[in-house]
Amino acid sequence: MLRDNSKQISTKLFIASLALSTLTICAILWVNFRIAAAYQQADGKTRAWFGLVEFTRFAHKYYLVIGGLLALIFSILAYRGSTSKKLALIPIIVSVATIALVFLPIWKIIANTSA
């Protein structure tokens, strides 16, 4: 009985981690599309200093790391309570990728491909 309850909690943490990572990735992409749109509308001088503009106008982007960290905590807890360790590695990998995406300048790829 206790083992079944632990498995249910592990499954719920697994699903919560993947859901939170997915929502955070969607938010990261949305912010990066907004940054790319602002870059394309900027003139030459503003484009030269756009790293500063990005940091000041879109600093809220870095708060999204909280979602990735929560997803990582959930996935580690799911890993510890899981019987299938290989399957439990999936949310850990996805949450670490989510944290990395917060700091990668995806907007540069978006701005260069749609220009």
pLDDT, mean of residues 18-34: 96
Whole-number Å distance between alpha carbons of 10 and 7: 5
Count Cα atoms within 13 angstroms, Cβ side, for 89.
3
**pLDDT band, very low/low/confident/very high, at 106 (cuts 50, 70, 90):** very high
Whole-number Å distance between alpha carbons of 57 and 99: 20
Residue at token pair 């955070």: 24
Q: Where are the domains of the chain?
A: 2-109
**pLDDT band, very low/low/confident/very high, at 99 (cuts 50, 70, 90):** very high
Q: Rounded to two decimals, what is the model's pTM?
A: 0.87
DSSP 64: G
**56 CB neighbour count, 10 Å cutoff:** 8
